[in-house]
Structure 1
Amino acid sequence: MDRRKFLQLSGAGLGVSMLPLSGNLVAESKLTQSGIDLAVKKEFADVALNTATKLGASYADVRIGRYLNQYVVTREMKVQDVVNTESIGMGIRVIANGTWGFAATNDLTADGVARATRQAVATAKANAKYQQEPVQLAPVKGHGEVSWQTPIQKNAMQIPLADKVDLLMDVNKSALEAGASYINSMLYLVNEQKYFASTDGSYIDQDVHRLWAPFSVTAVDKKTGGFRTRQGLSQPVGRGFEYLEGRAEDKIQSQTVLYRDSYDMAEDARLAAQQAQEKLTAKSVKPGKYDLVLDPSHLWLTIHESVGHPLELDRVLGYEANFAGTSFATINKWRSSKFQYGSDKVNLFADKVQPGSLGAVGYDDEGVKTRNWDLVKDGVLVNYQATRDQVHMLGQKKSHGCCYADSWSSVQFQRMSNVSLLPGKEELSVNDMIKDVEKGIYIVGAGSFSIDQQRYNFQFGGQLFYEIEDGKITSMVEDVAYQSNTQEFWNACSQVCDKDDYRLGGSFFDGKGQPMQTSAVSHGSSTARFDGINVINTKRKLG
Structure 2
Amino acid sequence: MERRTFLNISGLALGTMMLPIAGNVIAAEELLTPLATKFKKTLADTALTAATQAGASYCDVRIGRYLNQFITTRDLNVENVANTESAGVGVRVICNGAYGFAATSDMSPDAVANAARQAVAIAKANSRLQTEPVQLAPVKGVGEVAWATPFKKDWRAVPIKEKAELLIAANKAGMDGGASFMQSVLFQVNQQKYFASTDGSYIDQDVHRIWAPVFATAVDKASGKFRSRSGLSAPVGMGYEYLDARPQDKIRAAGGVATLYKNSYDLIEDARAAGRDAKAKLTAKSVTPGKYDLVLSPEHLWLTIHESVGHPTELDRVLGYEANYAGTSFATLDKWESKKFKYGSPNVNIVADKTTPGSLGCIGYDDEGVRGKRWDIIRDGILVNYQATRDQAHIIGEKESQGCSYADSWSSVQFQRMPNVSLEAGKKKLTPDEMVKDIKKGIYIVGDGSFSIDQQRYNFQFGGQLYYEINNGKIGAMLEDVAYQSNTQEFWNACSATCDDRDWRMGGSFFDGKGQPPQISIVSHGASTTRFNGINVINTARKIG
**TM-score when normalising by structure 2:** 0.96
**Which residue of 2 is the match for residue 115 of structure 1?**
114
**Which residue of 2 is the match for residue 371 of structure 1?**
373
Deviation of 1:16 after TM superposition, in Å, equals 2.2
**Which residue of 1 is the match for residue 519 of structure 2?**
517
Deviation of 1:324 after TM superposition, in Å, equals 3.0
Aligned residues: 530
Distance 1:530 1:15, change over 3 A: closer
Pairing partner for 2:259 from 236, 257, 260? 257
Deviation of 1:486 after TM superposition, in Å, equals 0.3
Encode CA deviations 1:208-233: one digit per residue, 9 max, x unaligned. 00001001101111221111000000
Secondary structure of 1:208 counterpart:
strand
Pairing partner for 1:472 from 471, 474, 487? 474
Partner letter of residue 428 of structure 2? E
**Which residue of 1 is the match for residue 38 of structure 2?**
39
**Which residue of 2 is the match for residue 25 of structure 1?**
25
Distance 1:380 1:15, change over 3 A: closer
**Which residue of 1 is the match for residue 8 of structure 2?**
none
Pairs within 5 Å for 1:499-518: 499-518=501-520
The answer to whether the 8 Å contact 2:251/2:261 transfers is no
Secondary structure of 1:65 counterpart:
strand
Secondary structure of 1:490 counterpart:
helix
**Which residue of 2 is the match for residue 201 of structure 1?**
200
Inter-partner Cα distance in structure 2 for 1:373 and 1:15:
33
**Cα RMSD (Å):** 1.3
**Which residue of 2 is the match for residue 71 of structure 1?**
70
1:89 aligns with 2:91: no
Encode CA deviations 1:289-331: one digit per residue, 9 max, x unaligned. 0000000000000000000000000000001135531100000
Inter-partner Cα distance in structure 1 for 2:36 and 2:305:
40
Deviation of 1:466 after TM superposition, in Å, equals 0.2
Inter-partner Cα distance in structure 1 for 2:239 and 2:325:
34
**Which residue of 1 is the match for residue 244 of structure 2?**
245
Partner letter of residue 533 of structure 1? I
Encode CA deviations 1:163-184: one digit per residue, 9 max, x unaligned. 1011101101111111210000
Pairing partner for 1:304 from 297, 303, 306? 306
Secondary structure of 2:313 counterpart:
coil
1:318 aligns with 2:320: yes
Inter-partner Cα distance in structure 2 for 1:429 and 1:258:
14
Inter-partner Cα distance in structure 2 for 1:230 and 1:427:
31
Deviation of 1:14 after TM superposition, in Å, equals 5.9
Inter-partner Cα distance in structure 2 for 1:420 and 1:367:
23
Secondary structure of 1:310 counterpart:
helix
Inter-partner Cα distance in structure 2 for 1:14 and 1:426:
43
**Which residue of 1 is the match for residue 464 of structure 2?**
462
Inter-partner Cα distance in structure 2 for 1:92 and 1:396:
26
Deviation of 1:20 after TM superposition, in Å, equals 2.3
Pairs within 5 Å for 1:32-431: 32=32, 34-247=33-246, 251-254=251-254, 255-431=257-433
The answer to whether the 8 Å contact 1:236/1:505 transfers is yes
Partner letter of residue 105 of structure 2? N
Encode CA deviations 1:43-76: one digit per residue, 9 max, x unaligned. 0100100111111111000000000001100001
Identity among equivalent pairs (%):
65
Encode CA deviations 1:329-360: one digit per residue, 9 max, x unaligned. 00000000000000000000001010000010
**Which residue of 2 is the match for residue 6 of structure 1?**
none
**Which residue of 2 is the match for residue 3 of structure 1?**
none
Partner letter of residue 142 of structure 2? H
The answer to whether the 8 Å contact 1:323/1:514 transfers is no
Deviation of 1:35 after TM superposition, in Å, equals 2.0
Encode CA deviations 1:439-467: one digit per residue, 9 max, x unaligned. 00000000000000000000000000000
For structure 2, list consecutive stretches of 5 or more residues without a partner in the other structure. 1-12
Inter-partner Cα distance in structure 1 for 2:424 and 2:360:
18
Secondary structure of 1:327 counterpart:
coil
Secondary structure of 2:100 counterpart:
strand
The answer to whether the 8 Å contact 2:251/2:262 transfers is no
For structure 1, list consecutive stretches of 5 or more residues without a partner in the other structure. 1-12
Inter-partner Cα distance in structure 2 for 1:412 and 1:15:
24
Secondary structure of 1:281 counterpart:
coil
Secondary structure of 2:270 counterpart:
helix
Inter-partner Cα distance in structure 2 for 1:331 and 1:106:
40
Secondary structure of 1:68 counterpart:
strand
Partner letter of residue 205 of structure 1? D
Distance 1:350 1:456, change over 3 A: same
Inter-partner Cα distance in structure 2 for 1:323 and 1:524:
23
The answer to whether the 8 Å contact 1:15/1:81 transfers is no
Partner letter of residue 499 of structure 1? D
Distance 1:149 1:322, change over 3 A: closer
Partner letter of residue 457 of structure 2? R
Greater shift in the superposed pair: 95-104 or 254-263: 254-263
Secondary structure of 1:454 counterpart:
coil
The answer to whether the 8 Å contact 2:324/2:514 transfers is no
Inter-partner Cα distance in structure 1 for 2:510 and 2:476:
34
Inter-partner Cα distance in structure 2 for 1:75 and 1:351:
36
Distance 1:458 1:14, change over 3 A: closer
The answer to whether the 8 Å contact 1:73/1:187 transfers is yes
The answer to whether the 8 Å contact 1:248/1:264 transfers is no
Secondary structure of 1:16 counterpart:
helix
